[in-house]
Structure 1
Amino acid sequence: MRWTPDGRHTELVVATDPRHPGRPVLTDEDGEPRLVDDGKVISRQDFPPSWSDAPPAARPPYDPARLRAHLAETVRTETPSTPELLDATQQLLDHWTLGARESAALARLLADAEGLRPVGEVTDRLDRPGQAYVYDDHSGVRHMLILDPSTGAVLGLELTFTTDQPEYGVRAGDVMQYSAWLR
């Protein structure tokens, strides 16, 4: 492993037998045992900066760019789509109660999410006033994010069907999933 100051690292796997330097080494790369030259690079993989080995359990950063990278790592993609960001947000909030700085960073990050649009004031399922933002995906599901209008903290995330799906006994408007967080 080779680490950089910003937390990125590269994993380099090289065929070698320290007991017999310079001699060929047996490897099972690609599932087939064969001899390779000592020092042959078997694999090289670069990893992005990480705040732990297991996000979202790692403490979330309060800088929007670093928080985006943290959420991207949670859903295992470099450029998460809006639904993936919302899924990562749910995972994050299931592990952490965000402070004011982290909540502000998350609100700034989600404000730039493509396709997430404001729909106005709502009362969430716990009878709290909130500001709703929705994203309609291509599978007939609406993602609704509810933020506290005074603090920007996420109050809830709701998934609702936007089309009838009779094969599942579902009608447009049926709630598929709802998560709420208390502070």
Structure 2
Amino acid sequence: MADELELLRRANPVPSGDPRFGEGPLGREAESHLDHLLAGAGAGAGAGVGGERRPPRSRTRFVWALAASAAVAVTAAALLVAGPSTTPAVAAPRPLVVRADSTPVPLDRMVERAERDAADGSPGLRKGTHVQSWSVGMSEDEPPITLPVERVMRWNADDSHTELVVATDPRHPGRPVLSEADGGPRLVDDGHVISEQTFPPSWSDAPPQAPPPRDATRLRAYLREAQHSDTPLTTSELLDAAGVLLDTWTLGARENAALARLLADAKGLRPVGQVTDRLGRPGQAYVYDGTGYRRMLVMDPATGAVLGLEATAAADEPEYGVEAGDVMDYSAWIR
């Protein structure tokens, strides 16, 4: 990969510090370099120092990133060769980092804060959600890609609802975003509308459409029903169920307190300290090391509300191009 990045840098039409960088089309010489680079990728990218052959997947990753289409190739090249100080807009998010100087807060303490916040009953429960998510798409034929999406779901008085889904990454406002569209991944403008739909009224009284309870005992049964489980939920399943709940409802203070109590009673969730989530909000983090994935729960330090959930790979999955520590899924809920 280091050799491939060096080839990319040599194809750069102007230096990264040049004020013209990214402002216009590639010049004739740059186009010639890029054409040569694409034409030679299959022949030269597989050879390493001393003629050693590299695995074919690295060539696939490189060619796919540059040659999806002419327009995407130019844009992707501009993003990838912008210099070592620039974060590519198409890059996968790094795992959240716990502040080394922070003090872990026990979940029981978060329950106390949530219950104190719920004393006056406000804010109230609201059906609908606003969530920013990053998820990884994988296949055996292509390298993994991270798709950032913002989704807003609003319910109307007649029980119909609308859902707006846009491609956007708040870490890189205004920059192109990788999206799954028209049968394959491509770069789209920030804020590109993926879908906008209106759904007819639904009168389902089953979870998660039914309003969630305000006490932990009944909420536990509610989430088990929402997950269609006949047995008590494991900690990993409970975190999944919490995600389903928050993808449907914006919880009120009392529902937040009930969920915080459930999470405090779960086995294996350990406090690790303070983080800043991908929307720039401070949070207290709790980690569960399950089979295959490491789950991180992020909670509001003032109210005990769930701010986000992150899943990272616990082991390499070379058949999919995934390495231990890669972020597989992340959701940040917005009030």
TM-score (norm 1): 0.69
After superposition, give the CA deviation of every residue in 1:21-80 in whole Å (9 maximum; x if it has no partner): xxxxxxxxxxxxxxxxxxxxxxxxxxxxxxx64211110001000011101111122300
1:67 equivalenced with 2:219 (yes/no) = yes
1:138 equivalenced with 2:272 (yes/no) = no
Give the secondary-structure state (helix, strand or coil) at the position aligned to 2:222: helix
* Greater strand content: 1
1:116 Cα offset (Å): 1.0
Q: What is the root-mean-square deviation of aligned Cα atoms in Å?
A: 1.1
Give the secondary-structure state (helix, strand or coil) at the position aligned to 1:110: helix
1:162 Cα offset (Å): 1.9
What's 2:200 paired with?
none
Bigger RCO of structures 1 and 2 (CA < 8 A, at least 6 apart): 2
Give the partner amino acid of 1:79.
P
1:138 Cα offset (Å): 1.6
1:149 equivalenced with 2:293 (yes/no) = no
Give the secondary-structure state (helix, strand or coil) at the position aligned to 1:145: strand
Distance in 2 (CA, whole Å) between partners of 1:99 and 1:72 is: 20
What's 1:107 paired with?
260
1:159 equivalenced with 2:311 (yes/no) = yes
What's 1:57 paired with?
209
After superposition, give the CA deviation of every residue in 1:136-171 in whole Å (9 maximum; x if it has no partner): 1122x1111100000000000111012221111011
Give the secondary-structure state (helix, strand or coil) at the position aligned to 1:179: strand
Distance in 2 (CA, whole Å) between partners of 1:134 and 1:76 is: 25
> Equivalent residues in 2 for 1:20-39 (5 A)?
none
Distance in 1 (CA, whole Å) between partners of 2:217 and 2:260 is: 12
* Greater helix content: 2
What's 1:119 paired with?
272
Identity of matched residues, %: 69
TM-score (norm 2): 0.38
What's 2:328 paired with?
176
Distance in 2 (CA, whole Å) between partners of 1:164 and 1:119 is: 24
What's 2:241 paired with?
88
Give the secondary-structure state (helix, strand or coil) at the position aligned to 1:151: coil
Aligned residues: 131
| Structure 1 segments unaligned to the other structure (5+ residues) | 1-51
Distance in 1 (CA, whole Å) between partners of 2:323 and 2:291 is: 16
Runs of 4+ in 1 over 4 A off after TM superposition: none
| Structure 2 segments unaligned to the other structure (5+ residues) | 1-203
1:98 Cα offset (Å): 0.3
After superposition, give the CA deviation of every residue in 1:89-136 in whole Å (9 maximum; x if it has no partner): 000000000000000110011001111111111111111000011111
Give the secondary-structure state (helix, strand or coil) at the position aligned to 1:86: helix
